[in-house]
Structures are given as C-alpha cells and as structure tokens.
Structure 1
Amino acid sequence: MTLAAQEQNRHRWLEALGVDSWLPRGNLPGAAEIAPWVESFCYPNDAQADAWLEDVAESVEEQAVPVSTPAPKPVAARARIDTETLLDQRPAAVPKATPVERPVRTTPTSTVVEAPRFKLAFVLRQDLLIVDSLPPHQPQGFSRHHRALLTGITTALGAEADIELSDAMMLPWPMLASRTLDQGAEEARRAVQHKLRRTLESHRRITQVLLMGEAAAHWILGETAPLDTLQGRSFKLPSGLPVVVTLSLSELLRLPERKAEAWRDIQPLRLVRSSD
C-alpha cells in the first residue's frame, strides 16, 4: 500500500468517526517541510470509495502477504456526526442561582492622632520641684551627669547639704508601644497634669517649680512658644506655685558655656529662697 493510500485509509476512518482532518498545502512557518505526496493527496468521498478499496486490495496483493481468511467486505461509511443536532439536544441549562448580596466589609479609617514624643524627669530637693526635659530618642534616662549638675544648681540656690536629690520619676511619652491606642497630644497633656498633681499632693512642702527645657514648659504650662521666648520668664501654676523656665540639663551638659545663661534665668527662685 502506498503512503498516499495509507493516508487515505486513515482519513477515511477519521471521517467515519466524524473527525475532520486537515493537511497543509504549503510549508508552515516553524514546521517541517511537507512530504511531496501531500500536494497530490485527495480526501476520499463516497464516489471514490470503490476506487479507494480497489487500490487497497491491489496494494495488498502486491505485498503477497499470506491471508488465512478472506478479507472482510468493506463496511459502508457511516454518516458524519451532525454536531449542530447534538448541540440542539443538550439538556436545558440550569438557571443560575440568584447571588445573595452580602454586606461589604469596610475597614474603619484609623482616627488615632500621631503620638508626641518627649521624656520628662520629676526630681525633688527640699521644697523645690524640678521637671527636666530629656532627649526622647536616647535610651538612657536621668544619668549621674544630670544628677551631679542638678545637685550643684540646687545647692547654689540654697538647698541644705544634708538633703539630697530624690530619685528621678520618669514620664516617657508615648507610654505604650501601640498604634491602636490614642496617645495623642490631649492624652499626653492629661498624663503630665496627672503626674504633676499627684506629685504636689504627695509632697506638700513643695513651694517652687523649676522647668528645664522646652518639653517641660510646653506640657506643664501649656505654652506653645519656643524655649527662646519662655526662657528666664516666671509663671504660676493654677495652684499659685511660682514657676521659672530655663535650659534643660542635657543642653547644659552639651554646651557648658550656657550655664551662666541658666544661672541668670533661675535668679527669681534664688531670691525667693533667700527671703525664707
């Protein structure tokens, strides 16, 4: 059987099964070159069925293959499958269920205000309350250098030598590492005022307050002006206690040449203490 006859045989069976087959008539990009017999190949049809069978029979005789049983009669080609009819016989489509509307979950917009950052140290010596502003970004608190400098300042103000500085009571803000809690300016002001009130209630002997640094002046007095404007000025707390504002201990440690400037700022406290 020639190669063309074999292809016709294959296409005939494919056609009987309802499968359409195709052969390229020319070379395709990226594909192997077509065989020479493809150009003369003809798809078998009903009119060519007898000639095709004869060609098959002749090719079998030429090969002289012994056959133990007579060749079966060719089966008539079956009608091609009507795809459109099969599609028309498909069961009716099941109607889609009506989707249930579900409430859309929305993420509530956070209204938490950015927390201010500051660190205050509350220190007592005799009848003087000192509130010092510490750098909030530095992990160390009220160091021995801060303590030594403040001891010298308060001694110069007239504090008795046998009365030492108290331990520093720290108030860092924000107090908790949380972005979901409200630690905004209003909450910070309440915390500072609560700390101040509790300190004054626990130490009735306090008669004067020294605020050192901008953060202390801002959160104790509620003043929003820069430190240059507040420095050296005298204020009063709602309770009537006199208050003086000057540079922070950290600033004086960093720039010792400003100690004379701070000494001039605290003269009202010195004069008040001298009159006791």
Structure 2
Amino acid sequence: MITETRRRAYLDAMQVAVWLPRTELPFAAPSRLELLKPPVEAAPLQPDAAVPVASERAVEPTPARPEKPQLRVVVPEPKQPEAVAAPQAPEERPKAIEPPPRFALQLLRAGSVLLLVELPTGESFQSRDPGYILLKDLLRAARLPDSPQQVGDGEPIRWPLLHGGSLDQGAEAARDYVQGVLAAELETMGCDCIWLVGLPALRFAGEVGAEACCRELAIDGLGRALAIPGLETLMEQPATKAELWQAMRRSLPRWHRSS
C-alpha cells in the first residue's frame, strides 16, 4: 500500500483531478464530498450584458456637467396709456395798444343836407382851397346852396381830443364822439340827408370803409347818408367823379323835392 501523498502524486501525473475509491483505503484522507458535485459551468457573457460592478467597489460620482446659462426672456409689460393732458387754453396776450386815430372833420350845412367833410390839411377850409372849391362844385351839381354854413362855433372836430392822459382815445371812443356830435346837431335841426365826405367821416360816422363810396347808407340813430370819396381822391382820380355823379342823381330826390 502507498501513502496518500504518493497516491496524489501519481494521480496528478495521470492528470486525474477527481477520483473516488470504490472501497475505503487504509491510511487515506477522508473523501471530500463537495468534489463529487459536478462543476457548474459559468454562463457565457452576452455582448450587450452590463458588466456587474463589485459591491465593495466605491461608486465614483459622475462629475456634473456645467449647466448652460438659461436665457430669460423678459416680456415688457404693456405700457399704460398716459393720460393726455387737456389742451391748455393759449394764454391771452395783452392786446397791443393801438395809437389813437388822428383826423379833422368839418361839420357844415347846405340847405337840408348836413355835411361832414374831411379836412385834408387838418385846418378849416379857406375860400381859395382847391378842396373847398371842389366841394362848392359838388353842391351846385346837387342843386344845393354852394356856400355851406359852419355849424356851431365853426371849430373842426379833431381827434384825439387830448394829448396824453388816461382818457380812452381809441377808435371806438372816436366813433362814439363823432356820432354824438351828429346826433346833437340833428336834435337841434334835422336834415334830409348826411354827406359823409372822406374816409374818416365814413369810418367814424357811418362805420364803413372806402368800399362803400358812391352809395347810400342807413346809419342807426342818424338816418340816411351818402358816402362820398375824399376831396383829394376826387381831384387825383377824375374818373371817380362820374361814379359819384350817378350816385348823387339817385339820391337827389332826398334833398330836392321839386318836381
């Protein structure tokens, strides 16, 4: 009989890994029953199978990816409509003070006609003044006395009344004054018609302009009037005389009542 050590050596030489004696051998080591179990073959690894990670191996944390900055879209809030300020009334600028008008008018009477005549030079008529001579011609053509009489003290109506001071001497005041003088004369002695000769007479007695020349007017509180261009205008524009003559013929019945 050989010893256990030599027996194993023989078996190794014959490449016998597992053997089991049929009978118990003297002086042999007890048989190991786990060697009698058939070997368990390991399952082949699938190519897609995940490789198990040993439980005792520490799992390294995956480094976090840097976050991309997120763009924040800011939607502007709708603007509230601003309150529209009420249009302010334009500041009233102080009216420019106009200088007072300047004129001189002569008040005359010829028969039943009252004449308010502009004095071109500002002084009373003289017998040899060209304007006065033309006025006499107009009176003769109208079948009126050609020597008109001065009314009152004969002083012309001048404006402005005062030079300086606080008295209102504007255009409205001048109109009221001139119409007041005529109204006072009409109360004293009436007339059939008033001749307004020249632009100042038209403006401040008849409240009309040069466009009203050569026609009749109806003036509140004063009655009917005939608008006549200024004496200087008639001398400088002879054609105006013909137009005036036509107007005088239409108004002739007012002061000449003979058939």
Q: Which amino acid aligns with 2:195?
A: L
Whether 1:132 and 2:112 are equivalent positions in the alignment is no
Whether 1:176 and 2:158 are equivalent positions in the alignment is no
Match of 1:62 in 2: none
Shift of 1:239: 3.9
Q: Which amino acid aligns with 1:199?
A: E
Cα distance in 1 between the residues matched to 2:213 and 2:96? 35
Match of 1:200 in 2: 186
Match of 2:245 in 1: 263
Match of 1:121 in 2: 106
Shift of 1:213: 1.7
- Identical aligned residues as a percent: 24
Whether 1:148 and 2:133 are equivalent positions in the alignment is yes
State the SS of the aligned residue for 1:189. helix
Q: Deviations over 1:14-40 (max 9, x none)?
A: xxxxxxxxxxxxxxxxxxxxxxxxxxx
Taking structure 1 as reference, are residues 121 and 160 closer, same or farther at Cα in structure 2, changes over 3 Å only? closer
Cα distance in 2 between the residues matched to 1:182 and 1:261? 38
Q: Choose from 165, 172, 175 the match for 1:186.
A: 172
Note the residue ranges of structure 1 that are not aligned, 5 or more in a row: 1-108
Write out aligned runs for 1:235-246 (5 A): 235-239=217-221, 241-246=223-228
Q: Deviations over 1:141-190 (max 9, x none)?
A: 334323322222112211257xx311255111112221543211221112
Q: Deviations over 1:182-227 (max 9, x none)?
A: 21122111211111111212223x111111122111111222xx31
Q: Which amino acid aligns with 2:125?
A: F
Write out aligned runs for 1:35-184 (5 A): 113-135=98-120, 138-144=121-127, 145=129, 146-160=131-145, 164-167=147-150, 169-178=155-164, 180-184=166-170
Q: Deviations over 1:105-140 (max 9, x none)?
A: xxxx999652112222211101001112234xx343
Cα distance in 2 between the residues matched to 1:176 and 1:213? 23
Cα distance in 1 between the residues matched to 2:178 and 2:96? 22
**TM-score, length-scaled by structure 2:** 0.54
State the SS of the aligned residue for 1:123. strand
Cα distance in 2 between the residues matched to 1:179 and 1:240? 31
State whether residues 174 and 183 of structure 1, in contact with CA within 8 Å, keep that contact through their aligned partners in structure 2.
yes
Cα distance in 1 between the residues matched to 2:223 and 2:204? 16
Cα distance in 2 between the residues matched to 1:215 and 1:240? 17
Q: Deviations over 1:239-269 (max 9, x none)?
A: 4632111211222234445322322232232
Taking structure 1 as reference, are residues 186 and 275 closer, same or farther at Cα in structure 2, changes over 3 Å only? same
Taking structure 1 as reference, are residues 139 and 117 closer, same or farther at Cα in structure 2, changes over 3 Å only? closer
Give the length in aligned residue pairs: 160
Cα distance in 2 between the residues matched to 1:232 and 1:242? 13
State whether residues 99 and 170 of structure 2, in contact with CA within 8 Å, keep that contact through their aligned partners in structure 1.
yes
119-128 vs 249-258, which moves further: 249-258
Taking structure 1 as reference, are residues 179 and 192 closer, same or farther at Cα in structure 2, changes over 3 Å only? same
Shift of 1:271: 3.3
State the SS of the aligned residue for 2:149. coil
Taking structure 1 as reference, are residues 213 and 238 closer, same or farther at Cα in structure 2, changes over 3 Å only? same
Note the residue ranges of structure 2 that are not aligned, 5 or more in a row: 1-93
State whether residues 215 and 226 of structure 2, in contact with CA within 8 Å, keep that contact through their aligned partners in structure 1.
yes
Q: Considering only CA atoms, is the larger Rg found in Structure 1 or Structure 2?
A: 2
Taking structure 1 as reference, are residues 111 and 232 closer, same or farther at Cα in structure 2, changes over 3 Å only? closer
State whether residues 133 and 215 of structure 1, in contact with CA within 8 Å, keep that contact through their aligned partners in structure 2.
yes
Cα distance in 2 between the residues matched to 1:264 and 1:212? 16
Match of 1:272 in 2: 254
Q: Which amino acid aligns with 2:179?
A: Q
**TM-score, length-scaled by structure 1:** 0.51
Cα distance in 1 between the residues matched to 2:163 and 2:249? 40
